[in-house]
Structure 1
Amino acid sequence: MGKPGPWPLATATTTTTTALAAAAAAATAAAAVLLLRRAHCPENVYFVGVDLGATNAKAGVVRKDGEIISTASKPLGTGVDSHAFHRVVEAIVAVTLDAVDAAGLAWTSIRGVGVGTPGHVHRGVVHAAANFPEWAHAPLGDAVAHALRCPVFVLNDADAAILAERWVGEAKGSGEVAMVTLGTGIGVGVVSGGQLVQGSRGLIEAGHSIVDSGPSARLCGCGQKGCIEAYASARSVAARAREVFAASGHSGPSVDTLSAADVFAAARRGDELASRIVDETARWLAVFCVNVSRFYDPDTILVGGGMADAGEYFLSMVRQHFSQLRWTVLPDTVSIKAACLGRHSGIVGAAALAASTAETGTGRGGDGQ
């Protein structure tokens, strides 16, 4: 790959060209150091995956077989403008260059960069993200591509997780798989026919599927009532447990600071109320898995995220409830398993998008998917 020029900034909408220029200019000096290494093109090619979170940006150089050979991390900071669009672009560019530098590679060996980010993502643009409230239709793909002078592809972080598992994880080679990520919220990614399913606007938010429409349905942060996220996310487990424990005068961990991890730990110790909360959570998740099976007919449903760390203790409950709830007129052969890539899934999945796009020759820098 020869020395490319800046990629066009075609999707800059409400984020101004001035902001893009500032982000690119701030990264130019650092990028120039690696651009000077373009003396030859090595036989092996690599991709960079970036996992953008609420507090930091992580990047890794990934081989075309999915193996990570170096990583780097950069805090976003806590300043007044630390989450401003141009500051986050600077952080992504810096952590990308750090990862490539740590791998000791020439920049010519990097064929593309993938960026996984929270929020509503479509064609390289982050239209809205709770972790970055000031962003509106932010052209993240174009901004990073302009600074790095290479193809950049952007996707939602839940989609990154499922692409990682399908590339080198528990769903390797599967063409029909769904992944449920249980964290503060619930993220869902789906691969069907070997392709990532994203909908007409990149706005598939299955974590906000309604599983309870009754008068006492729980209010979700999205404004709806009865979303699966209000029943089976880590945040909801903690909230429901605090309500139950407070009402019962429970003398366990401090009610005000109770976390989902505390609830699972108490359940493992035999606490009756905690065990009830965990079992109810497993049942709600099983209801959701039945619905996912009916919508998409996957051969595998993967469960990832922090709550998946409970392992077979929790997943066995989910499977048991799933078996009781599923239909009987036809067989259900779907396998419910724990995802295996853990904390690096965002990096690997973002790199997987860059690798698959480079292989098929579709898209261009900043377009995303």
Structure 2
Amino acid sequence: MRGQICGVIVIVAILDPLHTDAIARAETVMDPIRTIACLAFPDVMSLDVTGPLQVFASANVERQRQGLPASYALQLLGPDVGPVKTSAGFSLVAERAWREVDPGDLDTLLIAGGQGVDVQRRDQALLDWLRLAETKVRRLGSICSGALVLAAAGLLQGRLATTHWADVDALCQHADIEVQGDRLHTFAPDGCDGDAHVFTSAGVTAGIDLALALVEADLGRPTALAVARRLVLYLRRPGGQAQFSPLLHTDPVRTPRLAALLDWIPAHLGDDLSLDRLAAQAHMSPRSLSRAFADELGLTPGKYVERVRLEAARGLLLDAQASIATVARLTGFGHPENLRRTFHKHLSVSPQEYAERFGRSPRERG
């Protein structure tokens, strides 16, 4: 429809340039409104719903400030029309039941996440409806653990995907999905390093990052930037979600050969933790130790030590009691530059940025 209108405008403008302004105004009026729907369900995470929808609503406000019509119509879908209780205890009101909606009437469909996801991913009627929706909507995406619903419907096979860092392992259980746990979202309007049709976002507020990217693709960077400024957000947040999540999940029960060594390493971060030193401490040969790390942790000893040191550095920076140089020395990085490089490699932010963003304030330190 949009292309047909534009084509008529070009032809008439050539025939009668004096009418160009009036026709441009007519095009603006006739520009179709994109219907953005978000699917909610009992025990949904409230911010997964309200955060992204507020971004689209704010885009409408910015358009109106410019004397332009709204670009988006927002809908909340639920299992039934009426209240949908969130995991926060209050309810949102679904205007329509998803089963009564023709997905062809929607431009973009977003699936929220939350504690109720496990029930939704077993609802065959919902999964069938989502498979139908994928063939009809321009864009289909998920917020947070909503990715698990798309995965259950088989809609993420062969695609990049992310989700809340705590649900990455669950998403990895689905075959043929390239899970990228540190991504904030996998929407890519050009189809490079992501997908313009089916996409996912990481934990909770990453849905807002996704919505800003969708607005930018629809309405351009100036409008998206105006929305970000109005909502006091980054248009593109620095770093991925790894800066919020623990990097190590070691279970001593599952690592019997390494349990004693893994307990010993954090107390000796400033020592020589070379492969030979670790092997001697574990009473194993370097080759056997490397094999044990690969089998039980999926890491080399060196990479494991680096991550333990990084976790320790994060803890000290959060406590805000030591300088970056002191943190680097205490955690075995030696020079601050080594610490900076490791932070950028794993968290995509500098130690200084991490401390400013997450560290305790002087008042909190008491």
TM-score with structure 1 length normalisation?
0.28
Between structure 1 and structure 2, the one with the greater Rg is 2
The structure that is strand-richer by fraction is 1
Larger RCO (alpha carbons 8 Å, 6+ apart): 1
More helix by share: 2
